[in-house]
Structure formats: C-alpha cells, structure tokens
Amino acid sequence: MKRRQLVGCLVLLSIAAAGCGSATQDATRRTNTTTRSAVESRQAAGARTPKPRKGPKLQGKFRNLAAGDGDAPECKRDLSTLPAGFATSPAVWMSTIKGPSNLVFTRENALCLHGFTAERAVTVTVSDGRHSYTTTAQPTAGKLTFDRYEPPESLFNGARLRVYDIGSGVMQSETWDFVPQSAARESLAAAGHFTISATQGSTTASYKQSVAVPTNPERARLRGESKRRLVVDGFKQGDTIPIGLYRLAAGASDQATLVRQLGSVVMPRSRTAVFAVPQSAASSTYCVTVPLATQYNCPSF
C-alpha cells in the first residue's frame, strides 16, 4: 500500500515538474520575443532619425566682405507668370524675388492677394494636410515701402499681417524671412508644399504653394523681431554646425578673428535651424557666423 502511494506521488511530482518547465519555457520565449521586438523598434527608430555628424570647423580668421541688398518680391509682376485665371479671378499666393514658385525656407517672401476689396480684412489659412494656421490680412492705408520686415513666423503665428493696395486689384504685404516655427517647418519640409487659402465674405481663393529646403550653406540674422536669433541653413541634414563669435578689426580692416565657439546646431530635415545668440555676444565689435567658403556681411547683434 505504501509503495503504491509512493509511486503515485512520484508520478504527480513528475507531471508538476513538466508543467512548471513548460510554463518557464513559454515565459522565457515571450520575454525573448518582447526583447527582440523592443530592440528592433529602437533600431528602426534610429534608422529613421539620422545621427548627428561632425560638420565643418570654425575658421580662425576670415575677411568680412560687404554685399548690398538684392531685389524684392513683386506681386503684380507675378501675375504674368501665374496661370491666366489669377489675373481675372480672386487669388492668393506667396511671392519671392524669383516669383511665386520658388518659395524656400529662410528666403525673403511676401503675401499676395488679388481680387479682394481693400475695405475689409481677409482671413488667410495655411495648411500642410495635418496642421492648419489662420491669420488675418488687414488692408492698411499708406504705401508699401519695403523699409520694414514682418516677423519670420508670419502666417504661422496668428498675428495680423498688414497688406497694402499696390494697384491693379492687388494687395501685398511687407516682406519677411520665411522661417516658421520648428514644428511647422519640419512638417512643411516633409510635405514639400502647403495650401494657402483666403476668404473675405463670399469671396474665396486657394493655391497649392510649393516650398523647398535650402541647399546652399548660409546664415543670417533673423529680421522683423526684437530677439537675437541667427538662422543657419543649407547644410546637409544631420550635420553639426558650430556657431562662432568673431571680433571685428577696428578701422577700415575687414578682418574677423575667432573669439570662441558659442554653440552648435544640428541640421534637421528642413535644413534650417535657429540659434539664440546670448547677450554676451551682443556688440557691434563682434559678429556671429558659421563656417562658410566666403563670408559676406557677418551679422552683429
């Protein structure tokens, strides 16, 4: 009798051990699978986001050459290059010094309206398919002068934008450097275009506006704002670009000498990055720049 009980106990223990072993193996397999999935997810994310690379180095010295201002956007001139309907119907578009189809991040641009009355405000909406930004174009008495700049985030910051009657049924804003805030900038870079629409009562118009990333390395002080910000653009995506503080030589000399590195930016998809210049660099005896083959108008803050 005792032997049968002993045998039975041994059988039960064997079954229990087998069951425990199976559960342990299943748990191990699940853990391994989860670990592999997590690793694969991290690897995939890493593949989508380029790792920062070392970019060019700051020059110890350079010649600070002078260059004058160029042309300005002209909405009336654009009507000759836009589709025929733009000159005979309500229309809205963005103008650049090279016309309506060459909008590039950081470059000078202006808002154009045709076929809208100068008696009432116009609601302007920009959409990249995922996000929309609405502002008000306010017809303003006076003459378009090109002697002031609107903020770089214009059309994306909700602020009113003044437009002026320039004749032939066209209204145009002052110009600004096209640098929307970072999130909007990267979204537009991915899409390659946006839809701009205008509404004034029952009068409406829309246009699919292409937008391109800059490809020639450059830097400039952002205009139309009180902040001290340097925009860096045109370098390859993923490159780390150093920002240098240079001392300008006194007198008529055009020499600039490196004082120290202020920081750096990593080029995103839009190839456009903004750097906040510290108060310590704000002086007419200094300028702030990045590595360039030729330096023109090194910006002071």
pLDDT tens-digit series, residues 129-168: 889 999 999 999 999 999 999 999 999 999 999 999 999 9
| Domain finish residue from 210, 240, 265 | 210
Q: Are residues 196 and 87 in the same domain?
A: yes
Query: Who contacts 203 (Cβ-Cβ below 8 Å, separation ≥6)?
Result: 90, 115, 116, 117
pLDDT tens-digit series, residues 269-299: 999 999 999 999 999 999 999 999 999 999 9
| Domain finish residue from 150, 182, 210 | 210
More confident residue, 284 or 51: 284
255 domain-assigned: yes
Question: What gap in Å lies between CA 283 and CA 281, rounded to an integer?
Answer: 6
Q: Are residues 120 and 225 in the same domain?
A: no
Question: What gap in Å lies between CA 242 and CA 230, rounded to an integer?
Answer: 12
Q: Are residues 179 and 105 in the same domain?
A: yes
20 domain-assigned: no
Q: Are residues 105 and 206 in the same domain?
A: yes
More confident residue, 167 or 69: 167
How many structural domains compose the chain?
Answer: 2
Partners of 43 in beta bridges: none
Question: What gap in Å lies between CA 213 and CA 28, rounded to an integer?
Answer: 49
pLDDT tens-digit series, residues 211-251: 999 999 999 999 999 999 999 999 999 999 999 999 999 87
Q: Are residues 204 and 219 in the same domain?
A: no
Q: Are residues 82 and 201 in the same domain?
A: yes
Q: Which single residue is written with the structure tokens 């202006």?
A: 110
More confident residue, 34 or 234: 234
Q: Are residues 87 and 160 in the same domain?
A: yes
Which two structure tokens, joined as six digits, stand for 9?
């106990």
- The pLDDT of residue 71 is 86
Do the beta carbons of residue 243 and residue 265 sit within 8 Å?
yes
Q: State which residues form the domain around 289.
A: 53-67+214-296
> pLDDT over 90 for what percent of the chain?
76
CA proximity to 12, closest of 20, 23, 1: 20
| Domain finish residue from 210, 242, 270 | 210
Question: What gap in Å lies between CA 301 and CA 283, rounded to an integer?
Answer: 6
DSSP one-letter code for 97: T
- The pLDDT of residue 101 is 87
Does this model's pTM top 0.85? My answer is no
Q: Which amino acid belongs to residue 185?
A: R
Q: What is the domain-level CATH number for residue 149?
A: 2.60.40
Q: Are residues 180 and 241 in the same domain?
A: no
- The pLDDT of residue 51 is 73
Which two structure tokens, joined as six digits, stand for 111?
């808002």
